[in-house]
Amino acid sequence: MHIMEGFLPPFWAAVWYAFSLPIVGYGTYRAKKEIEKNPKNKSLLAVAAGFIFVLSALKIPSVTGSCSHPTGTGIAVVLFGPAITAFLSIIVLLYQALLLAHGGLTTLGANTASMGIVGPFVGWLIYRAIKGKTSIKVSTFVAAAVADWVTYVVTSIQLALAFPAGAGVAGVIASATKFLAVFSVTQIPLAIIEGIVAALLMGYLVQIRDDLSVEVAA
């Protein structure tokens, strides 16, 4: 799903870098604060990062006949919120850009914006809204699935902005529809799978760390 190297014109590459870098910086600062606040959080941060590593490495076939992969940001969003998720996502995106030619350095800003910032942020808003009204498993499922799916919607919009099919807003919308046709349908089953896996892991984490349920619910 990541926009490939060189596939965003320099102007848009710069715009998305300008958008993402301050948030990643803030997330890094927040991650440091969380560890200072409670050294136990270091291991939780690692679990959240590990989850992104695993899930975003899985290329899963989907209903539309193409493969795509989940994002794995759900656990990080539920445990630490969207800013720290941005910091963790950029680590994974760098690995994939440098070693796998998957995504890229010029598109790193845009890919961080979709997978690390906007998708998780929307997932987090919905998580905040339903948290406490339902079980931790259900709210994690919803947060993870939404964060995953919105990531691909954002990617479609980013590509449409860079490659409008015509002049003005109408051109952007026409393009966005085309990219959404590729990404959004493919991603629905994968978002559901990601939600289930994230909910299972979260349920287990709460079970083996008694103190965690208090923090997550707070």
Partner 1 sequence: MKLKVIVLLTAIFFFVTIAAAEEWAGADEKAEEVIGDIAPDYEPWFSPIFEPPSGEIESLLFSLQAAIGSLIIGYIIGYYRGTRYARNA
> Nearest-CA neighbor of 7 among 136, 104, 94?
104
d(CA 109, CA 37): 29
**Residue ranges that bind partner 1, judged by CB under 8 A:** 1-7, 9-10, 43-44, 46-47, 49-59, 61-68, 92, 95-101, 104-106, 155, 159, 163-165, 175, 178-179, 182-183, 186-187, 189, 193, 196, 200-201, 204-205, 208-210
Q: Which is nearer to partner 1, 105 or 125 (CB)?
A: 105
* Smallest separation, CB 209 to partner 1 (Å): 5
* Smallest separation, CB 125 to partner 1 (Å): 26
What region does 72 belong to: left with phi over 0, alpha with psi -120 to 50, or beta? Answer: left
Contact 156, 139 (CB under 8 A): no
Q: Which is nearer to partner 1, 140 or 187 (CB)?
A: 187
Residue with tokens 């030619």: 101
* Smallest separation, CB 68 to partner 1 (Å): 4
Q: Which is nearer to partner 1, 88 or 147 (CB)?
A: 88
Q: Which is nearer to partner 1, 7 or 26 (CB)?
A: 7
> Nearest-CA neighbor of 68 among 161, 2, 137, 119?
2
Q: Which is nearer to partner 1, 33 or 178 (CB)?
A: 178
* Smallest separation, CB 144 to partner 1 (Å): 14
d(CA 84, CA 74): 12
Contact 160, 176 (CB under 8 A): yes
d(CA 83, CA 29): 9
With the CA atoms of 31, 8, 125 and 93 taken in that order, what torsion angle do they form, in degrees rounded to the nearest 10?
-40
Q: Which is nearer to partner 1, 19 or 50 (CB)?
A: 50
* Smallest separation, CB 173 to partner 1 (Å): 13
* Smallest separation, CB 129 to partner 1 (Å): 26
d(CA 190, CA 63): 10
